[in-house]
Each structure stands twice: as C-alpha cells, then as structure tokens.
Chain A
Amino acid sequence: MRTHRTEKNSAGPTRHRNSGPGRLLIAVYGVFALAATARAVFQISTKFAEAPLAYLLTALAAGVYVLATVSLAMPGQRWYWISVGAVGLELVGVLTVGLFSLLDPEAFPNDTVWSLFGRGYGFVPLLLPVLGLWWLYLNRRGRAVEPATERASPTA
C-alpha cells in the first residue's frame, strides 16, 4: 500500500483504475458478487417465505456487487460514475442495514451479507466500499476531462 503512489506517479497517466491495486479491489468485489449472488439464489429458492425482506436485501447486495465489479473494471468516464454510484450505494446499504440490524435484531435475522456491518464476512463488506471510494477518489483525474495543469500536481 505504502508504495503504490510512487508506482502510479512513475507510470504516469496511462494507468487506469483497473490497474495495480485496482485489480485486487475488482477481484475482491468479484468474490463478493459471486458469494452474494449464490446466497441470494439459495435463500430465495429454498426459504423465501421465512424472511422476505432479508433475502431481498441479499439480492440487492448481489446486484450492487455485480455492478461494482463490472463498472470498476470498465474504462471510461461513464463507467467511473457508475462505479461511484454502485460503491456509494454499497456503503449506504451496509451502514443502513448494519445499523438497523443492531437496533432491531428481530426485524433483521442474521441472514444478509450486510447484517451487523458484515460481521459474518469479517467486516469486509464495511471495509470494501470505503477502500473503493478512496481508490476512485485517487483515480479521479486520470479519467476526468480537466486542464492538463491539474494533472501536474505531484500528490494524488
């Protein structure tokens, strides 16, 4: 982590947000997209009536993870903003579901990816959108249509 900034600077503006640490981010998002999708399919197909809200939230989480994975991997400004939206929605989702599952455990059985801030998944669901938004913030200028002078600033 410590050195990626120098790497990025030395490589110049050719680097994309799906490069370097971004590849790891996309890989982890991919794993969560897979896990949440499999879980949503399993829950909805076998026991939907038990907790419809929790299982629909799992399905929503799955969709958000898939969108985040794809949009982070795709080049271009439009995909950049889609990934900001997807990762932002993920952060809102994990905070909202985490808070409500803490305040009202009865309404949220421990059955979604985002329950208790993602405790069942080692709190990675809470960490991931923070790192994701930070990464997108670091990479904002590489894709933005801004004056060239803006890019000359040494610190990203």
Chain B
Amino acid sequence: MIVDGFFIAGVIVCLASAVICFGAAAIRQPPNDVTILSIAAVELFLLVYGVAAIIRQAGGEAIAGEAWEFWGYLLTALCIPLAGFWWAILERSRWSNVVLGAVGITVFVMLFRMEQIWDRVPL
C-alpha cells in the first residue's frame, strides 16, 4: 500500500507539536513561544498541504474519495490551530498548553481521514 509523503510529514509535525505542548504542560509552563510556534507549524503544514493539493488536483491527480469531503476536512482543519490558539491565550495556565496539544491530536486525526479519502488506504 502507498502512503502519501504529505501524510507522513503531517503526522510528524502534528505529533511533535502535541509532544512539545503536553511536555510543556507537564512541567507546568503556560503557553510560550515554543508551544505557540509548534501549532503555527501545524497551521503552516496545512497551508502547504492545501496548496500542494490544489496543484496536484489541477495536474490531474485523482482523489479516490469525494473531493468536496477532502476540502471540507482541510478547510475545517485550517481553523483548528487558530481556534486553539485563541482559546489558549485567553488564559495563561499550563492547561492552555494541553489545549494546544489537543490541536495537534485533532489535526492528526483529520489528516488521517484526509489520507483515507485521497488514497483510499485502509489504514
């Protein structure tokens, strides 16, 4: 079975972000530059993934599932880091870092679904 390279890159970015944020929460840090930049990296990855997906689909690469479902997931996923950031910085406690970590986990699950839709991989 073929697993998309973008999917692997995305999984690494999301899980690294989650580990950083949960780790910062474990040592009782409020959100700081490192944790906020880690979810910014998640958002940046999603933007790159989206642009690459436009180029690939325009280039004639076929999606196994429904295209609109893929784009629905991607557009929703793009909002997750922004919403998590907004919710986390309203209160500077270590729990806000757990919220930022949940961003990485949530985007990871959504990437998983996007990969299933794109390649119909029975992951």
Task: Judge whether B72 and A23 touch: CB under 8 Å.
Answer: no
Q: Is B83 an interface residue (CB 8 A)?
A: yes
* A42 and B69 alpha carbons, distance in the complex (Å): 9
* A34 and B91 alpha carbons, distance in the complex (Å): 22
Contacts A24-B98, A24-B99, A27-B99 hold; do A38 and B76 have CB atoms under 8 A apart?
A: yes
Task: Judge whether B72 and A19 touch: CB under 8 Å.
Answer: no
Task: Judge whether A19 and B91 touch: CB under 8 Å.
Answer: yes
Q: Is A63 an interface residue (CB 8 A)?
A: no
Which one of A4, A19, A27 has the greatest number of beta carbons of chain B within 10 Å?
A27
* A20 and B76 alpha carbons, distance in the complex (Å): 26
Task: Judge whether B95 and A30 touch: CB under 8 Å.
Answer: no
Flag A15-31 by CB within 8 Å of B: 1 or 0 each.
Answer: 00001111110111011
* Range of interface residues on A (Cβ < 8 Å): 10 to 19
Flag B61-89 by CB within 8 Å of A: 1 or 0 each.
Answer: 00000000100100010001001100110
The interface residues of chain B lying within 8 Å CB-to-CB of A42 are: 69
The interface residues of chain B lying within 8 Å CB-to-CB of A3 are: 28
Task: Judge whether A23 and B91 touch: CB under 8 Å.
Answer: yes
Q: Is B93 an interface residue (CB 8 A)?
A: yes
* A19 and B98 alpha carbons, distance in the complex (Å): 13
The interface residues of chain B lying within 8 Å CB-to-CB of A21 are: 95
In angstroms, how far is the closest chain B Cβ from the Cβ of A4?
A: 8
Task: Judge whether A31 and B106 touch: CB under 8 Å.
Answer: yes
* A27 and B102 alpha carbons, distance in the complex (Å): 8
Task: Judge whether A38 and B72 touch: CB under 8 Å.
Answer: yes
Contacts A30-B83, A38-B72, A38-B76 hold; do A24 and B102 have CB atoms under 8 A apart?
A: yes
Task: Judge whether B93 and A20 touch: CB under 8 Å.
Answer: yes
The interface residues of chain A lying within 8 Å CB-to-CB of B98 are: 24
* A18 and B102 alpha carbons, distance in the complex (Å): 17
* A56 and B49 alpha carbons, distance in the complex (Å): 34
- Residues 1-46 of A at the B interface (beta carbon under 8 Å): 3-4, 7, 19-24, 26-28, 30-31, 34, 38, 42
- Listed by A's residue number, 29 A-B pairs whose Cβ atoms lie within 8 Å are A3-B28, A4-B95, A7-B93, A19-B91, A20-B91, A20-B93, A20-B95, A21-B95, A22-B95, A23-B88, A23-B91, A23-B93, A23-B95, A23-B96, A23-B99, A24-B98, A24-B99, A24-B102, A26-B87, A27-B84, A27-B87, A27-B99, A28-B102, A30-B83, A30-B87, A31-B80, A31-B102, A31-B106, A42-B69
What is the interface of chain A, defined by CB distance below 8 A to chain B? Answer: 3-4, 7, 19-24, 26-28, 30-31, 34, 38, 42
The 8 closest A-B pairs by CB, nearest first: A27-B99, A24-B98, A20-B95, A23-B95, A31-B106, A24-B95, A24-B99, A21-B95
